[in-house]
């Protein structure tokens, strides 16, 4: 599926005692090609929900430009609807040109489509599916470029305990894998720290949260919102304020978007705000030249695309083979420095990102500001 590359220059760095190959490698006469399916949403909740898809597109364009490759992009518009994901997965696997998948976005879709991708020999690298059980070994081709909720939940709970000085924490969750898994992890850690908590389950895209507002009494001064949809969290924050309730608010990584702008609220995120990283300026300029406005959330989708394409290029460089099996074999050995994550990208035996971290940001007058 391509012509083997000739390496004319490379650089490396030692991380954890291992020699790591940089992703900035100069090649000439590269003719590697193949299609990457991108199972991420676009358009459903307005421009904000297209951000991950946009980041993946920018990543592919930049990779082709940097390496003189010919990889192409196939969008698959899937958010949290597992049935839609299954239908799209079945379509994707019938295309012999597809060598890997970026996505899915959510844990519930990942659980549904994973067996289909596994049966077809496709790797699938998610920028945001964080349920801890996804890497228990059942899904053979699944990788993620963010930490699992086994890390995010305790990080949020510890921040609540040490910074927000809670009396009682109200945990507002959805009945779906991402939200429930993150809520479980938060509550488990709060309990271990001796912090009282209550839980309430709300529906996706629920319009009224008066039952939640009623639970915020004088003894409840923190509301944790591991909610899947940012607009739901914004609606809840607005109704709390309208009801004269002002608890500290903290949400998960799904709220690190422009659609969530509750002043003073905190959110956790796996990737730093790329708009504040000087090293990422070139990438941001490219993003803005294509899409106009810039959204910090979605940076991990850029990295997920890099992972799939780096594996494909490695396979192509080795023997000109950019088949699904060659990409699958090459992916566990992918290692590169990411300016978007501000860290190195490499995977452990469970396909988890090594040395992943969780940042806490706060909504301020000029957007998200690093809090911890």
What pLDDT, in 10s, does the model give residues 103-120? 999 999 999 999 999 999
pLDDT > 70: percent of the chain: 88
Query: According to the model, what pLDDT value does residue 50 have?
Result: 86
80 or 17, greater pLDDT: 80
Question: Is residue 269 pLDDT above 50, yes or no?
Answer: yes
Which of 218, 250, 269 is a domain's end point?
269
pLDDT band at 279 (very low <50, low <70, confident <90, very high): low
| Residue 215 CA: distances (Å) to CA of 109, 157, 346 | 31, 20, 43
What is the CATH classification number for the domain harbouring 170?
A: 3.40.50.2300
Query: According to the model, what pLDDT value does residue 208 have?
Result: 97
- Which neighbouring-strand residues pair with 126? 144
Using an 8 Å Cβ cutoff, are 80 and 326 in contact? no
Question: Is residue 293 pLDDT above 80, yes or no?
Answer: no
Parent domain of 90: 6-147+274-356
At residue 334, φ and ψ (nearest 5 deg) are -65, 130
Using an 8 Å Cβ cutoff, are 5 and 32 in contact? yes
Question: Is residue 308 pLDDT above 50, yes or no?
Answer: yes
Q: Are strands 248-251 and 220-225 parallel, antiparallel or unpaired?
A: parallel
| Same domain, yes or no: 251 and 313 | no
| Same domain, yes or no: 282 and 134 | yes
Contacts (Cβ under 8 Å, ≥6 apart) of 256: 267, 268, 269, 296, 297, 361, 368
Question: Is residue 22 pLDDT above 70, yes or no?
Answer: no
What is the three-class DSSP state of 267? strand
| Same domain, yes or no: 51 and 131 | yes
Q: What is the pLDDT of residues 336-363, one digit of tens each?
A: 999 888 889 999 999 999 999 899 999 9
Which of 233, 251, 269 is a domain's end point?
269
| Same domain, yes or no: 99 and 194 | no
20 found inside a domain: yes
369 found inside a domain: no
Question: Is residue 23 pLDDT above 80, yes or no?
Answer: no
Query: According to the model, what pLDDT value does residue 271 have?
Result: 79
239 found inside a domain: yes
| Same domain, yes or no: 245 and 257 | yes
pLDDT band at 121 (very low <50, low <70, confident <90, very high): very high
**Quick one: which of 158, 165, 233, 230 has its CA closest to 193?**
158
Q: Is the peptide bond before 104 cis (omega within 30 degrees of 0)?
A: yes
| Same domain, yes or no: 226 and 245 | yes
Question: Is residue 268 pLDDT above 90, yes or no?
Answer: yes
CA distance 283 to 294: 11
131 found inside a domain: yes
The terminus-to-terminus CA distance of the chain in angstroms comes to: 46
111 found inside a domain: yes
276 or 269, greater pLDDT: 269
| Same domain, yes or no: 281 and 209 | no
| Same domain, yes or no: 17 and 59 | yes
Q: Got the DSSP string for 220-238?
A: EEEEEE--S-HHHHHHHHH
Using an 8 Å Cβ cutoff, are 221 and 168 in contact? yes
| Same domain, yes or no: 97 and 114 | yes
Query: How many domains are contained in the chain?
Result: 2
| Same domain, yes or no: 169 and 290 | no
Question: Is residue 213 pLDDT above 70, yes or no?
Answer: yes
Q: What is the pLDDT of residues 222-251, one digit of tens each?
A: 999 999 899 999 999 999 999 999 999 999
| Same domain, yes or no: 10 and 143 | yes
- Give the global pTM: 0.81
Contacts (Cβ under 8 Å, ≥6 apart) of 285: none
| Residue 220 CA: distances (Å) to CA of 162, 195, 223, 313 | 16, 11, 8, 53
Q: Are strands 367-370 and 168-174 parallel, antiparallel or unpaired?
A: unpaired
CA distance 100 to 302: 14
């Amino acid at each position: 599926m391509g012509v083997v590359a000739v390496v004319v220059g490379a650089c490396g760095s030692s991380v954890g005692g291992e020699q790591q190959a940089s992703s900035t490698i100069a090649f000439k006469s590269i003719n590697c090609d193949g299609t990457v399916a991108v199972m991420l949403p676009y358009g459903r909740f307005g421009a904000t929900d297209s951000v991950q898809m946009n980041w993946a597109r920018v990543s592919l364009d930049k990779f082709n430009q940097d390496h003189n490759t010919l990889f192409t992009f196939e969008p698959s518009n899937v958010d949290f609807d597992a049935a839609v994901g299954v239908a799209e997965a079945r379509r994707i696997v019938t295309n012999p040109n597809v060598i890997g998948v970026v996505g899915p976005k959510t844990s519930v879709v990942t659980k549904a489509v994973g067996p289909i991708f596994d049966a077809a020999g496709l790797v699938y690298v998610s920028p945001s599916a964080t349920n801890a059980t996804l890497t228990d070994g059942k899904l053979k081709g699944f990788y993620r470029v963010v930490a699992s909720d086994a890390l995010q939940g305790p990080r949020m709970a510890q921040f609540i305990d040490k910074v927000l000085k809670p009396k009682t924490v109200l945990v507002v969750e959805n009945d779906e894998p991402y939200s429930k898994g993150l809520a479980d992890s938060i509550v488990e850690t709060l309990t271990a720290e001796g912090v009282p908590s209550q839980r309430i389950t709300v529906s996706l895209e629920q319009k009224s949260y008066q039952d939640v507002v009623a639970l915020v009494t004088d003894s409840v001064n923190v509301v944790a919102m591991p909610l899947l949809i940012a607009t739901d969290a914004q609606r809840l924050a607005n109704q709390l304020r309208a009801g004269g309730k002002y608890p500290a608010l903290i949400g998960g990584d799904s709220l690190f978007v422009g659609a969530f702008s509750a002043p003073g609220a905190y959110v956790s995120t796996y990737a730093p705000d790329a708009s504040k990283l000087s090293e990422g300026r070139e990438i941001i300029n490219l993003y803005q030249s294509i899409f106009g406005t810039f959204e910090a959330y979605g940076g991990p989708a850029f990295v997920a695309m890099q992972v799939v394409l780096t594996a494909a290029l490695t396979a192509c460089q080795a023997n000109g083979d950019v088949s699904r099996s060659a990409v699958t074999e090459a992916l566990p050995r992918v290692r590169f420095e990411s300016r978007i994550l501000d860290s190195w990208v490499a995977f452990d035996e469970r396909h988890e990102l090594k040395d992943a971290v969780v940042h806490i940001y706060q909504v301020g007058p000029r957007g998200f500001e690093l809090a911890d």
